[in-house]
Amino acid sequence: MPQVAPFVVRRLARSWRTSVEGVEHFDLARAEKGCLMTLWHGRMMLGLAHHEGGDYTILVSPSKDGDLMDTLLPRFGMGVIRGSSSTTGARSLREMLRSLRVGGTVVVTPDGPRGPRHSGAAGVAWLARATGYPILTCGFVADRAWHVNSWDAFTIPKWRARVALVYGEPLFVDRRASEDELKTACDEMQRRMMAAEARGFELLGVEPDWPAEDIDRHWRTR
């Protein structure tokens, strides 16, 4: 499977019709000479072709799922760091900081590697506070897709699917933020990610594919 995955993804991706919104937010975050890009774990495949060859380093979990992405991502010109948003060790942190300091973008999936789906770990907000780099929240969605029977309902857009990539407004975390303010920043990151996905589904003219509990948590309680 890892050997054929790049070929299959490329063939599928050539047929996808991709629309992009929020380029000004993307440019603003990248202008900071380094940024943290966040998207949900189950959406990792949707942006591969569009971002191919860019200066991206992806934080990939040290799991079997991560082994597959470790094989796939370099074929799209992306770097890989093995770790997770909740349990990243000193070596992974050093690698992320090295990428950020040379103006690169580190991509993190806050709900990986074990979920729950659409629930962000505080590690990304902590890293943004510690380094001063902005968080670029993203929502990548498709109108027609297969969903793997996994905790993250991993999304694979079907042949000739329409894909929407939405970049939210960059989120900056003050370096003097208290622990309570850090939690607020984490909650805001999740809200912006869900809002970006909601906007993506709106652009495609289809209903969100979220489970009911995610809608309750992120929208009905607002």
**Is 73 a domain residue?**
yes
Query: Does some domain include residue 31?
Result: yes
Assess if residue 193 is contained within a domain: yes
Per-residue pLDDT at 23 exceeds 90? yes
Residue 191 in this model has a pLDDT that exceeds 50: yes
Give, in order, the Cα–Cα distances in Å from 130 to each of 97, 172, 212. 10, 11, 34
Q: What is the mean pLDDT of residues 199-219?
A: 80
Does residue 18 belong to any structural domain of this protein?
yes
Question: Is the residue at 111 inside a domain?
Answer: yes
Q: How many domains does the chain have?
A: 1
- Record the pTM: 0.90
Per-residue confidence band for 183, with pLDDT thresholds at 50, 70 and 90 = very high
pLDDT of 180:
95
Rounded Cα–Cα distance for residues 56 and 36 (Å): 10
Longest Cα–Cα distance of the chain, Å, equals 48
Nearest Cα to Cα of residue 34 among 99, 97, 106, 100: 100
User: In this structure, is residue 104 part of a structural domain?
Assistant: yes
pLDDT given for residue 87 in this prediction:
59
Domain housing 173: 5-217
Specify the higher pLDDT residue, 67 or 187: 187
The answer as to whether 171 is a domain residue is yes
- Give the C-alpha separation, 218 to 119, whole Å: 10
Q: Is residue 222 one of the residues assigned to a domain?
A: no
pLDDT band at 221 (very low <50, low <70, confident <90, very high): very low
Amino acid (one-letter) located at 109 = T
Range from 90-104, 109-123, 193-207, 208-222 carrying the lowest mean pLDDT: 208-222
